[in-house]
Structure formats: C-alpha cells, structure tokens
Structure 1
C-alpha cells in the first residue's frame, strides 16, 4: 500500500499539472489562487486511499477523480463564502473579497466545469457509476447548504434536522470521495457502500467536533476564534440541544443572549455558561462517539485484510483528535 505522503504528492502534482489558461485573467486567476492557498486535501486523499485499499496495482487511474473531488470542494467553498459573506478562507482573503462577487460566482462555476473535465478522464466502464455517485453528492451538498441557510430564519431546529443538514452539507462529500475511489479499484457494490457509510459517519462526527471546538477548543490548536458560532447565532448541535433542554427561565435567558449583539465577549461567556448548566457538551460528545462507532463498524465490515484498513482508521483518528 502507498504511504500517505506519496499520495499527497500525487495530488499536489496533479493539481499543479492542470492546464489553466491565463486569459481572461479575472476568470482563471481566482481559480489558481483558490488552489494555491491550499487546504489539507483530505477529500482527494480519501479517493486515492480507497482506490489503494481495494487494488494491489498502481492508483494512477484514480488520480483524475481525486482531482475532480478537490475541484468540486473548492467550487463549493468559493460559492459558500459569497453566501456567508466570509472575509477569510484558509487564512487568506476569500475570492469575492479579493476580486468581487460576480468574479467569485463565475470562477466557482469554472471550478465545477473543470471537475467534470477530470471525471471524463476516468475509465469508460466506471464512468456511469462514478457520475451517478458524484452527481448525487453534488445535489445533496446544495440541499445541505440551502437547509443551513433556511435554519438561520427559524427559531427552532430539531436534532434530527440538524444531523440531516450536516450529513448533506459536509459528510456526503467525504463518503462520495471514498466510494468513487473504491469503484475505480473494482470494489464490490457492498464494500463500496460500506466505505461510503464510513466516510459519511466520519464527516458527521467531524462536524460535531467542530461544534464542540468552537466553544471549548484551544484557539491556538483549532485555528479559529473561540465562540464564532455563538456570535453568529449559528445553529450548532450545542445550541439546538440547549434550546431543546432549556426550561422557561433558562430559555428566556438564552433567547436574550441570542438577541444581544452589543458585547461579544459577554455573549460568548453567557451562552457558554448556559451550555455548561445544561451539560450539552456531554450530549454532543455522546452523539459524536455514536457516529465514530458507526464509522468504524462500517470500516471493519469491508472485506479486505484488516491490516489494509489501518491507514483509513488512523486518518479518521487524526481528523477527530484536534484542537482540544
């Protein structure tokens, strides 16, 4: 099996080798910029790791699909940043801030087109199944983003609704990245579904971990401002659960903090104190662990030698053990 560093080098070279035109500059410079400011490249790495899991031969046939997954991910980030009016991405100015929203929309569209151009390089026999997986994922990511925006306008969201939203917005891309790699390596349908499930459950656990770290994480390790979700009144698992558990007096206090934008530090402290009183962190930790267990159950059921599953388990552990 391939070392992760080798796979990451393949991905970096594949992205560097993309034939991106120079003109018109306002279309292609943002594409280059988005790819150059990096990221962990976890999703294309998962595609190659899945291909490696099921194949004893070279994984070069899976590289175009891995690049397609990364291009799609960057397309979604460019557009999400516009919708969220986000000023920074990966520590750099977002595309719409560096250029403008119209440039961001068009360059994001082009990233999506580039993704399909890479998928077209996949072996013809695999292409129908890969396109079905990719297109289903792409639709679900859009659905998840819309639900996330819809949640901003409603007072109450259930835990099940929240988990459904993060599954679509975040997790299905991890699952599809893995499943596409598995399909390219000739995995059986049942195994391809299991590795998809593994990715989805890891993705949900990863997002729940993000919810915890926003409030309780070490900013030095997490790399984000503590309490950002609280200040934005973002519907996280913590807030959803707090609204569900709070009795009338506590609910009134929580509603007052949600309406207060005058003192950010006091708001973070006040909401966190309510979370502590309701012990919602324990609720989120339990939900995270439930999805981690489901992920490893799916991974362990895949019909390959147990030693070949170790790299994926180690990567999942690394993703879920950060920032605290």
Structure 2
C-alpha cells in the first residue's frame, strides 16, 4: 500500500517529465506553465489511491492520473477567464500572461492531451475508462454552467445548489476514483461504490469550503474570509438563511447585498444573521450527512479494511482542514 504523499510525489515527477511540442510556442508553453504551478495533486492521487485499493499497478494507472490532472488544469484556465481572475496559486493566470485567445486555445489542447493520456491504459478497460472520463468532463461543464446561471437567479433552492456542486466539484472526485478502480480491474459494483464514496466526499468537501469561507481562520484558510459574502455568491449558508429568515431579516439581507463600499460591515452583518439562525450548525450537519454517505459506500467495498486506511485518513483530513 502506498501513502498519499508517495503517490503525490510520483505524480509530481511524472508531470515534470511531461513534454509538449515546441511549436507553436504560445500554444504549448502555457500548458507547461499551468501544469507546473503546483497544487496538492489530490485528484490524480485519488486515481492512484483507488487503483492501489484494488491492488492494481499504479504505473498502469499513472496515465489516467495525468489525464485527470491535465483536465482539471484545463478547467482552471477557462474558469479564470470566466472569472477574470488575475492570479492562480499566487502567479499570473494564463490569460493574463498570454492573452485570452491563447488561453482558450491552450485549454482546448489540454483536453486533447487528456485523451491522449487515457489511450495509454490497457485496451481491455479503455472503453470503460473513456466512458467514465467523458461523463465526468461533461458533468463538470454542466456544473460550471449552472453556477453561472445561479448568479442571475434569485430563486435558487438548496437542492439545486447541492446538485450544482455535485456536478462542478464532486463528479471529478468520484470519476477520478472510478477510473482508478477500473484500471485496477475492480468489479462494476466496487467501481460504482468507490465513485459514490468520491462523489459524496466531494459534496461534503464543498460544503466545508462554504463554512470555512465565513468561519475559517484567516491565517490558515488561504483565501479572504468572507469572500463569498462580498461577492454575493450563492452558498449553502446563504440559501439556508434565505429559507429560514423572517421577512425583516430577508429585507436586511437584500440591503446588505447592495453594499459594495463598507465590506467589513457587510461581512459582519451577514455573519451575525448566520449566527442568529444557526446556519453554520445546519451546514455542518448537512456536510456530515454526505460524509456519512461516503463512508457507508466505502464500507461496502469488498476489500480488506486495512487497505482502506489511507482513504479514510484522507477523508478525515479533508473534513478537518482549515485551508
């Protein structure tokens, strides 16, 4: 059994060794740039952890892990364009450095590169791997579209929000793990169970992110505390507050949303409403429900409990993180 750190290190070496054509330079240099900006490499590591869970060869699963990481970084390039973000991991975003048109094209090629990596898996499992990857990639795009549409709507419900974060964030976690299981030769039942584990863990992770955005330690969170409040971003906390708040408080909430000047006051006022309606506790309860679903799926997988320890440890670490 491998540790998460060992697998992350293996992925980092493989990414450093990846080579792209030299021409056209402005098409391929941005790909190498974003792929080497760092990050925790959790998604590709999940491919390898799942393969290892079913006693597969991690070297055979490595191309699929690289495909998942390439696809993930492709989505980051395009997300940064849509968000007009100037920085990614503390460095200039691709579109800031090379221009929007170049960034779009480089991102498009990264999708091709992902598929080229996937074709390196064993032919016996290639169709199942490609089917899973395509469903995953399509789901991520659907989630991003819904997230953008939600910005223009005032009637978003909690069930819709959960489905959006499932698509935008969680299906990639589940899909990565299912691909690792398929490469390792897991049964269809076990491959689906590891997918269910990953998807529910991904939803719990995003709910935890919503909570940390308001209640996290600013020294550890890595992002501005209250950033979602400032941006009027629809999160589980905001939607739950809108659902529970009395008419007077809903009016106050609408007024705070218009505040673009005294931002610390805006954060404090909305946080006070969250506290009054115990929204943090309700969000934490919802997060634990999805985490319980994840662990229930993992428990049903037909491998020895000893082999599950690394995944259990990772899940617990993610749910008790401060950043």
Q: Give your verdict on TM over 0.5.
A: yes
In 1, are the aligned partners of 2:15 and 2:36 still within 8 Å (CA)? no
Unaligned runs of 5+ in 2: none
Corresponding residue number in structure 2 for 1:10:
10
Equivalent positions of 1:87-126 (< 5 A) are: 87-126=86-125
Equivalent position SS for 1:132:
helix
Which stretch of the first structure deviates more once superposed, 287-296 or 102-111? 102-111
Corresponding residue number in structure 1 for 2:29:
29
In 1, are the aligned partners of 2:8 and 2:40 still within 8 Å (CA)? no
Tell me by how many angstroms 1:4 deviates. 2.4
CA distance in 2, matches of 1:9, 1:36: 13
In 1, are the aligned partners of 2:165 and 2:206 still within 8 Å (CA)? yes
Deviations 1:263-301, CA, capped at 9 Å, x for gaps: 111111111111111111111000000001011011111
CA distance in 2, matches of 1:131, 1:187: 16
Equivalent position SS for 2:123:
coil
Pairs aligned (count): 323
Equivalent position SS for 1:79:
helix
CA distance in 2, matches of 1:40, 1:4: 10
Equivalent position SS for 2:124:
coil
Asked if 1:248 corresponds to 2:247, the answer is: yes
Equivalent position SS for 1:38:
coil
Tell me by how many angstroms 1:58 deviates. 3.1
Tell me by how many angstroms 1:244 deviates. 0.8
Tell me by how many angstroms 1:3 deviates. 2.7
CA distance in 1, matches of 2:235, 2:36: 30
Moved over 2 A (4+): 3-6
CA distance in 1, matches of 2:131, 2:249: 47
Equivalent position SS for 1:126:
helix
Q: Could you say what the CA RMSD is over the residues aligned between the two structures, in angstroms?
A: 1.0
Unaligned runs of 5+ in 1: none
Query: What TM-score, normalized by structure 1, do the two folds share?
Result: 0.98
CA distance in 1, matches of 2:316, 2:304: 19
In 1, are the aligned partners of 2:57 and 2:184 still within 8 Å (CA)? no
Tell me by how many angstroms 1:9 deviates. 2.2
Tell me by how many angstroms 1:18 deviates. 1.4
CA distance in 1, matches of 2:152, 2:4: 42
Tell me by how many angstroms 1:5 deviates. 2.6
CA distance in 2, matches of 1:207, 1:3: 24
